[in-house]
Amino acid sequence: MNAIISASELASELAGECPPVVLDVRWQLSVAKAAGEPPFDGRAAYEAGHVPGAVYVDLDRELAGAAGAAGRHPLPDLAEFGAAMRRAGVSAARPVVVYDGGQGWAAARAWWLLRWAGHPDVRVLDGGLPQWAGDLSTDVPARGEGDFEPVPGADGLLDADAAAALARSGVLFDARAGERYRGEVEPIDRVGGHIPGAVSAPTNENVGADGRFLPPEELHDRFKALGASDGAEVGVYCGSGVSGAHEVLALAVAGIPAALYVGSWSEWSSDPSRPVAVGPDPQ
């Protein structure tokens, strides 16, 4: 099953007999703002105009647990996550399409979490809302209760120890910007650098100027050149398990299965006993 859907394909499916549930997950990374600008308000953006029939989902409150020792965006409580998805109308037998404001990170987090929790049919709108050519709606739909019950899979999730081991036995991609991987800057976490053995693979290099994913064959060639050869076990991490989900999605588009270290650098770097590598070399 394809992990992404084009805007034209979504419009066609919404006009069909069994339209998908559409989730709006607009979100932006909150970094301390020296100029004092107000934080991004995803719900306000949704209320100002969204794909008709879409339901807003809050990444920080519904797709992640409270920030702490496990990272800035740890896994949510599964019972609470399931209840949030049912309120949004998500059912196991109905397709789901997720979109955000165009960056793709938040939509990918929802895609990854739903897939890991057992939903069989979830896709991301390629390029997000900017690709939508139809009218926008300000109506909040009266969505009926869904029946989705999370049943997490045995694969697809890494903890800190598994990520460290995979960096030695397989391929562990660091999806953050190269300067954060190298430890040259660190605007959020305690210390800069990367997990020893991890390979730098910035997620923004998986998309074109319009925010849509590169063709599958180009993505496959990119990841293969970075070490994801046939049969290699692959994992991804980022700052807090959001942009890393976008890289897992890019790998899925390329036909390469990968696991996500949800705690990512925000969890890893919070423990001073864990080793940190700096510079361009993985080790």
Q: pTM for the whole thing? A: 0.95
Angle (CA) 81 7 138, round 5°? 65
Q: Determine which of 65-74, 101-110, 121-130, 137-146 has the lowest per-residue pLDDT on average.
A: 137-146
pLDDT, the chain, mean: 94
As to burial, measured by CB atoms within 10 angstroms (0-12 exposed, 13-18 middle, 19+ buried), residue 60 is: middle
Choose the catalytic residue: 51, 124, 160, 238: 238
Give mean pLDDT, residues 34-46: 81
pLDDT over threshold 60, residue 33: no
18 catalytic per annotation:
no
In Å, how far are 69, 94, 116 from 176, measured between CA atoms? 20, 33, 22
pLDDT above 90 as % of the chain: 89
